[in-house]
Amino acid sequence: MSLGAKGGYANTWILNQNVKSDPEVSSLWSFAPHYGAMIRYNISSTQYNTIHMGYSLEILFAQYQQKYGPGFLGDDFERQLDIYTIDIPFMYRYTIDYVVNLEIGLLASYVRLAYGNYPLAHDFIKNGEIYLLTENFSSISVAAIVRISTDIKITKKLALNPGIMYSYGFLDLISKAGGRGKDYRGDVKADYRITRTMQEGGWLGLVYRL
């Protein structure tokens, strides 16, 4: 079993097809941090103890950010959504010789706080004001997650753990209060489409093998 801590940044997206197809709005690249604790547990090994299978569990404080800029027909503005979550990734892990880790699993996110001046569900674009939007988003969302990392030994039991990750949500991020089932802005007639999260990024961790 191993314990550790980590921190990193990811390119985060709050994906809504109505925003993507709106000529007045464009989604911009946004980067946000995540940090927290991790635990690994091996359940089996090969005959020569070079390949290990097990599980990884983490508890992370994370942020999902989405910036919006002008589209083809829009005015010159930039607006932003910020969603703060507690992320709990639970993954099956395949480790080669305690060096290379391949992990695949599920990422559950609990929304703690959300605010911004461009919510997806309502037309709150007024004077650049910031609105508390927590109730506009589902309290729990789930994503598929894939990660690759390596353990760089510092001592016999202590290692640096850099890695890269990708996740894609498959549950709707919008709540009923946020307009689930309706168009994302009150004055736009459009078919409702599920809003999902996506992130791609990296981290640096420190792992201690017990």
Across 164-189, average pLDDT: 78
Across 48-65, average pLDDT: 90
DSSP for 122-156, please give it.
Answer: S---STT--EE-GGGB-SEEEEEEEEEEE-EESSS
Pairing of strands 25-28, 152-153: unpaired
List the domain range (segments joined by +) for residue 168: 2-209
Share of residues in the chain with pLDDT > 90 (%) = 50
State the pLDDT confidence band at 74, using cuts at 50, 70 and 90: low
Across 193-202, average pLDDT: 90
pTM of the model: 0.84
Which pLDDT value is given to residue 124?
Answer: 44
pLDDT tops 80 at residue 49: no
Q: Tell me how many domains the chain contains.
A: 1
Q: In this structure, what CATH number is given to the domain that contains residue 183?
A: 2.40.160.20
